[in-house]
């Protein structure tokens, strides 16, 4: 494996562009946090590595587009993944809203529907992403457009309606905090989510509204 360049340094990991067996790939390298107890830190690092690898594999089996796992080394905290070409949903939405606005923007609505479909497939398989933000959704810049989910370090398996509702709430908050047309965009996501997860969406969306109301109440109380 050849490291080409570091492309991101987050709170928990560094991300590099690499080549792996002659193919372009992404290396995610989790590093130790000195402020944490060493044993606790090692446990958290390994658990998040396992969660990400398992979440990616389970998502792929559920029909969700995610990066393929090329290599996982739990001891060193290194995870090598397929390189997904595209831009984040955040950048895509910003670009579309600036250039074309939200009304009758078929391209934008199509992407939101694909997002809802992907989340519906996850929840149908009882997989919770845990960090559904517009930065963890990648939109291809080629036709036909494709939507991929990334960063499954906080993912886990759960049948809980509350957990699925919170997953949706995290995404809704991410949209509201960065995009003025969030309500219309989220409507498209939910419509597609209901079509995909027809057996459980009604209960999840009811719980989502409860979670949203609790969040609003906490904001008002301060």
Closest CA to 151 of 89, 94, 198: 89
Contact 117, 58 (CB under 8 A): no
Residues 6+ apart with CB under 8 A from 160: none
Kindly state the helix (H) or strand (E) to which residue 26 belongs, with its residue range. strand 23-30
How many residues does this entry show for the chain?
A: 222
Question: What b/e readout covers 177-198, taking b as 16+ CB neighbours within 10 angstroms?
Answer: eebebbebbbebbbebbbebbe
Name the pairing type of β-strands 23-30 and 127-128: unpaired
Nearest-angstrom CA–CA distance, 169 and 174: 9
Residue 41 annotated in active site = no
Q: Return the axis-axis angle of helices 201-221 and 161-178, rounded to nearest 10°.
A: 60
Q: Return the axis-axis angle of helices 106-124 and 201-221, rounded to nearest 10°.
A: 100
The one catalytic residue in 41, 85, 131, 183 is 131
Residues taking part in catalysis: 131
């Amino acid at each position: 494996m050849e490291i080409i360049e570091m492309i991101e340094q987050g709170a928990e990991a560094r991300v590099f562009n690499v080549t792996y067996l002659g193919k372009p790939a992404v290396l995610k390298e989790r590093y130790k946090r000195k402020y944490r107890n060493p044993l606790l830190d090692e446990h958290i690092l390994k658990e998040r590595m396992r969660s990400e690898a398992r979440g990616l594999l389970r998502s792929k089996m559920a029909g969700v587009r995610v990066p393929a796992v090329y290599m996982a080394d739990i001891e060193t905290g290194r995870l090598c993944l397929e390189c997904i070409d595209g831009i984040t949903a955040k950048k895509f939405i910003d670009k579309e809203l600036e250039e074309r606005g939200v009304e009758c923007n078929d391209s934008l609505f199509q992407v939101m529907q694909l997002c809802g479909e992907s989340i519906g497939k996850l929840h149908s398989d009882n997989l919770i992403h845990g960090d559904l933000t517009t930065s963890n959704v990648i939109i291809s810049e080629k036709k036909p457009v494709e939507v991929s989910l990334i960063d499954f370090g906080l993912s886990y398996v759960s049948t809980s309606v509350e957990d699925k509702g919170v997953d949706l709430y995290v995404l809704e908050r991410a949209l509201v905090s960065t995009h003025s047309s969030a309500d219309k965009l989220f409507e498209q996501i939910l419509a597609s989510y209901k079509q995909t997860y027809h057996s459980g969406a009604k209960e999840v969306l009811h719980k989502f509204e409860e979670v949203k109301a609790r969040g609003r109440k906490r904001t008002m109380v301060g």
